[in-house]
Amino acid sequence: MSYQKRVASLMILDSIIVLTAIYVSYLIINPTLRIFTYQTLFFMSFILLVSHHLFAGAYNLYKKAWEYASVGELIAIAKAVTLSIFTTAIVQQFVFHDIYFRALAITWMLHILLIGGSRFSWRVLRDRYIKPKKDVKRALIVGAGAAGTMLARQLLKSYDSGIQPIAFIDDDPAKYKLQIHGLNVEGDSKWIGRVVEKLKIDKIIIAIPSLKKEEMKAIYEECAKTNAKTVIMPLIEDVMLGSVSVNQFRDVEVEDLLGREPVELDSKSIQEKLTGKTILVTGAGGSIGSEICRQVCSFHPERILLLGHGENSIYQIDIELRNKYQDGLEIIPVIADVQDRQRIFDVIEQYQPDVVYHAAAHKHVPLMEYNPKEAVKNNVLGTKNVAEAADTFGVGTFVLVSSDKAVNPTNVMGSTKRIAEMLIQQLAKGSNTKFVAVRFGNVLGSRGSVIPLFKKQIQAGGPVTVTHPDMTRYFMTIPEASRLVMQAGALARGGEIFVLDMGEPIKIVDLARNLIRLSGYTIEEIGIEFSGIRPGEKMFEELLNENEVHKEAIFPKIFIGKTTLQPQEEIDYLLRKYKDMSEKELADYVLDLANNRRVLVEMVAN
């Protein structure tokens, strides 16, 4: 029906209702109609009819989509009807010097009942009979708070969503057995399995934005015991901003199940370091480097340098940032290899950055076991080039992105990262530049993470391969890792190694099981196989060894490690001789050096 026909139809319907209401009210008061003449009745009907249409138009009663009618629409009806009756009463007083109070009161009640009934009957008809028949999923909403009730209301109104809310689950015992929007609160989260089976639920929607990670994990474990698909409602702030609709759900991700709350930033101190400054990020096309670039840009630097060796990855982050930050930020892509000392010195001399985030590195443990010379060139020599250029040209702060594998390293990659830490700590002793390092564990979603590998294996039908059933790792998200790097730069005094309190380590096999369930499969369907520990891998990782631990955090969940300085001549020897060593000799040397084995002094002497 066109808009014009819709308005005309509603006006005709309202006219019939208004005239019916006033005549019925007068008949109820006096069936003989002796208290006034037919002319008076006709005149008053005309006044009421005109005033109703005026106020109905003022409150948009002819523009509303009544199939979605709710309390707000009922209030609008009450206001329009009340004002039209009030107007009629005033006209009666002025024209006839009398007001028929009882007749107007009955007219008001009939008016509201008939107008409201005509409108809300359309919603009832559509809900019950006209609703399109399609493959509707029966949904259980976990959370009967503000977010959950808003979601339920939206789904009840949205006929094309394909989702029908059936019941609520909520851990607040005061809500148990109550009804919200006609849906029962069936019990707490421990009842999820029973409710899903009893009510034949197809989809579970978690609608508690304030959930902590541990609480989310506990609820998801209950959901995972059922055959229903589990999804999460979008954030309320995103809904309010209009970036997503309330029924645009997302799947539960592994990041949602990390048993640790993310670190909160000290935005003021970071803003002082970054706003209006020139920032250089090496490895800007990588997972961590690109996220550092995104978060740095949110603090409005004057200029950001995106330095990387791979042109495609630098092109992608360059285009992304230019599309998002079109005014007031100069973005400069720099194609350069950190191993090229002269090129690095030229770039830093030309642009004079205030802060350098050094994220460029080789990170794959097994690959570096086979290629120790490349690991030394990129992770040690590359760090030396960028750090010494920063020192030479007076960069304010230099932040090295390190790894938990630098602690008591058993592999080449971890050893080269530890030696890189040694390098910047040596430089920090006599430099005006504040040199610091940041250690954290495995990063979910990064190119070197197990998550992409597991997902590919699941998509291929399995099995998922895990090295060992007892293998454990610390995990964090890419944004959280990047925030830690930025916070470390703001806290830097020179020479520190910052470490994030990453909570409890997670078994890789548990991560694999969760990912299989999140992908909609059972463990039996995909399967898990154990392939054995790879070269250079440790069964578990550490963030600080026993001699490095400061018990008190310098910032919530951020600690400083008490690392010991190593003789500079041993590092110099490595950088002079690594090309002449065999791969095996080099691997042994960097392992000994990183683990502070003093027998190396004899080799240096020779």
Distance separating alpha carbons of residues 454 and 521, to the nearest angstrom:
13
The answer to whether the beta carbons of residues 209 and 147 sit under 8 Å apart is yes
Handedness of CA 522, 524, 527, 528 (dihedral sign): positive
DSSP state of 76: H
Distance separating alpha carbons of residues 334 and 310, to the nearest angstrom:
10
pLDDT at residue 105, rounded to an integer: 80
Question: 25 or 148: whose pLDDT is higher?
Answer: 148
Radius of gyration for the alpha carbons in the chain, expressed in angstroms and rounded: 35
Question: 259 or 503: whose pLDDT is higher?
Answer: 503
Judged by DSSP in three states, 604 sits in helix
Residue 182, Ramachandran bin (φ over 0: left; ψ between -120 and 50: alpha; else beta) = left
Q: What is the mean pLDDT of residues 313-342?
A: 92
Of all residues in the chain, the percent with pLDDT exceeding 70 is 77
Spot the catalytic one: 203, 277, 377, 405. Answer: 405
pLDDT at residue 604, rounded to an integer: 47
For residue 77, the one-letter residue type is: I
pLDDT category of residue 241 using cuts at 50, 70 and 90: very low
Token pair recorded at residue 8: 């005309």
Q: What is the mean pLDDT of residues 15-32?
A: 74
Mean pLDDT of the chain: 79
Question: 287 or 126: whose pLDDT is higher?
Answer: 287
Q: 20-24, 360-364, 567-571, 602-606: which range is least confident on average?
A: 602-606
Token pair recorded at residue 420: 């890189």
Residue 405 known to be catalytic? yes
Distance separating alpha carbons of residues 130 and 19, to the nearest angstrom:
30
pLDDT tens per residue, range 533-580: 776 666 766 655 555 555 555 666 677 776 566 667 888 888 888 888
Judged by DSSP in three states, 371 sits in coil
pLDDT category of residue 27 using cuts at 50, 70 and 90: confident
Q: How far is CA 263 from CA 377, 499, 562, in A?
A: 33, 12, 22
Neighbouring CB atoms inside 10 A of 520's CB total: 12
553: phi then psi, degrees, rounded to nearest 5: -80, 140
Judged by DSSP in three states, 434 sits in strand
pLDDT category of residue 18 using cuts at 50, 70 and 90: confident
pLDDT at residue 588, rounded to an integer: 86
Residues 6+ apart with CB under 8 A from 567: 601
For residue 388, the one-letter residue type is: E
pLDDT at residue 579, rounded to an integer: 85
Domains identified in the chain and CATH numbers: 3-130 (no CATH), 137-252 (3.40.50.720), 267-600 (3.40.50.720)
